[in-house]
Chains A and B, each alone.
Chain A
Amino acid sequence: MNKRAMYLLLPGLLFLAAFMLVPITLTIASTFVQDGKLTLEGYLHFFRDGYFNRILLTTLRVSVVTTLICMLLGYPAAYYISRASARKKGILLALSIFPLLTSPVVRSFSWMIILGKKGLINSFLVNTGMVAKPLDILYTPTAMMIGLVHLFLPLIIITLLGVMENLDHELVRAARSLGASPFAAFRKITFPLTVPGLIIGGILVFVGSLTAYTTPALLGGKERVVSTFLYQNAMTLNDWQAASVIAVIMIVITFVVVGLMNAWANRLNPKG
């Protein structure tokens, strides 16, 4: 690359260094120091604590389930959109991105109206006599997952769509002509070639659910997730040390999950 052109990178790099790398490094460094001494006490304190482990498990469970549901719902939808005619594709794409364009607060409030005791679902179930008493859906982890799936499904559809549009359908046709059943062609050709999209979409959804704040705060009930716990420590208890430790734990989990998913992608599609 032209050496002078490199200078064009400089403003962006400086910005990232000043407002991202430095603060994150400081945050991470601060968690290892207590009373002027280098220690792991901050972390040990959290991991010895049954209460924190429970919050962490709830968060991981919600994130994993959300990611899996998004993959299951997003894959066929993206496949269908990728095969549609250009005009139809535009409309379908716009529709699927639409949730991203509304604020998380508005979205969560709509879910409250749908899931509540007097909400659409419960009114329907009670009026048709399917249940005697309204179900408890709102203010449970289930409500949280529904909200998160709604929020993050567009991400996985968009990433998958990018991969599927570039898929060479001659390959599928070739497989069929050589005697593969439609399912075998899908399993051996289409699926492996689209795995990268699935993985990247999955990472986006997982990281997003892990760190989401508004949706769990509004739709979740008494059950707590890591991000709302972090908020409580930082904003209402003013315990920035604990908040930093939690933040670092979240960053580490993110990196571990990204690593694992990449490893998985490599196994499914070694040439990806």
Chain B
Amino acid sequence: MKKMMTAGLALALTSMLAACGSNNASTGNTDNNGAASGAPAELVISTWGFSEDFFKESVYAPFEKEHNVKIVVEIGNNAERLNKIRQGSSDVDVVYLSDYYAQQAIDEGLFETIDSSKIPNLENIYDIAKAPLGAEYGPAYTVGRLGIAYNPALVEGDVTAWSDLWSKFDKNLAMPAITATAGPMIVDAASLAAGNADFNEDTAFTKLKELDSNVVKYYSQTSEYVNMFGQEEIAGGPIMEMYFKDLQAAVPDAKFVAPSEGAYAVMNTVNVVKGSDNKELAEAFINWQLSEEVQAASAKAKVDSPVNVNVTLTPEEAVGVTYGADVIGKLRKLDMSFVNEHITEWTDRFNREIGG
């Protein structure tokens, strides 16, 4: 019996370790700061894991060469990376975050203010992107939009408005989880669909509750949506335009619409972390990220929608990219300080009144 216990314990520990191992795999890449003395300076960039190859080749490599610097990348989702900076356990210089998480960091005093004279390319980007969270903080380097994608074979008629989520889908809808970047936008869209001109929390939640029985899953990662769409588990739902190309790859007839009430602006910002030893280098990097060269390359590779007004795309290149002054001009923008004030309460209400 005793032997058995030991064996059992050993097994339990091994499986726990194995579980830890797989969790940490995604945050690799951080340990290779073995720069010897005299080696180039090191700039630590914290970003998402998508399109890593593109960033390495077209964004980091040219910058490293020009500024004699070694770029070290830290990978993770918004929440994980923001938490790391909160705990003070990382030496990140530049951080990419969606506006919603960046606002939290600003409220907690985690960002360095920037010197816009060091970032001349700010002149060349759309107004909406210049200072989404205040002029002292970093710009949005890309502005995407949240609209509705759907599979025409599974939906009757055309989807044209946010309110169609309530009428055209039958137990085959995917919605963003409340804690996802798009979560608060959905609360706002529900308020619109309930017929409010001004935001009304109570009617928004009542409206979302009505929708719940048609929802298959509240997704927190877009990859979940893409999978469900490809497997026809869902007929559609709100999603960011940048992922539309993945949907089309699975369902060639898939459609993306900007709802008539207005698609939501999804802004990803780039900021300098407080306490960075390389502030000027970090600002130079932000300037490079906004340059026509990088912006055009990432738009053409369908990695990020451009904010630089000088970037021109052919209609073909613009598929799945949020592009053009008129498109950008029509976007609805949430007040991120308002969202952050209410998000804990909304999450709680969403959990209790609606579902996962």
Name A's B-contacting residues (CB within 8 A): 51, 100, 103-105, 112-113, 116-119, 138-139, 155, 158-159, 162-163, 196-197, 200-201, 203-204, 207-208, 213-214, 218, 220-224, 228, 232, 235-239, 272
Contact = CB atoms under 8 A, between A and B. Distances in A.
Contacts, number: 85
Q: How large is the interface on B (under 10, 10 to 19, 20 to 34, 35 or more residues)?
A: 20 to 34
Contacts of B260: none
A100 B11 CA distance: 11
Contacts of A117: 231-233
B231 A222 contact: no
Ranked 8 nearest A-B pairs via Cβ: A236-B179, A222-B355, A222-B356, A200-B8, A224-B356, A116-B231, A51-B352, A235-B79
With a 10 A CB-CB cut-off, give which of A116, A119, A220 has the most chain B CB atoms: A116
Contact of B79 (A208, A224, A236): A236
B132 to A, nearest CB: 21
A24 to B, nearest CB: 13
Contacts of B231: 112-113, 116-119
Contacts of A51: 351-352
A207 B4 CA distance: 17
B293 interface: no
Nearest to A238: B83
Contacts of B12: 204, 207-208
A170 B216 CA distance: 56
Contact of A112 (B11, B80, B86, B227): B227
A196 B1 contact: yes
A222 B5 CA distance: 37
With a 10 A CB-CB cut-off, give which of A138, A203, A236, A272 has the most chain B CB atoms: A236
Contact of B218 (A103, A159, A222): A222
19 contacts: A51-B352, A105-B22, A116-B233, A117-B231, A138-B233, A155-B11, A159-B4, A159-B11, A162-B4, A162-B7, A196-B1, A203-B8, A204-B8, A204-B11, A214-B22, A222-B215, A223-B356, A235-B79, A237-B179
Contact of A237 (B5, B227, B347): B347
B217 interface: yes
Nearest to B175: A222
Nearest to B108: A238
A97 B8 CA distance: 15
B344 interface: yes
A117 B19 CA distance: 29
Given A112-B227, A236-B179, 10 more contacts: A104-B22, A117-B232, A158-B11, A208-B15, A220-B356, A221-B356, A222-B218, A222-B355, A237-B179, A237-B347
Contacts of A104: 19, 22
Given A203-B8, A208-B15, A221 B217 contact: yes
Interface string B166-191: 00000000000001000000000000
Contacts of A221: 216-217, 356
Interface in B255-309: none
A118 B356 contact: no
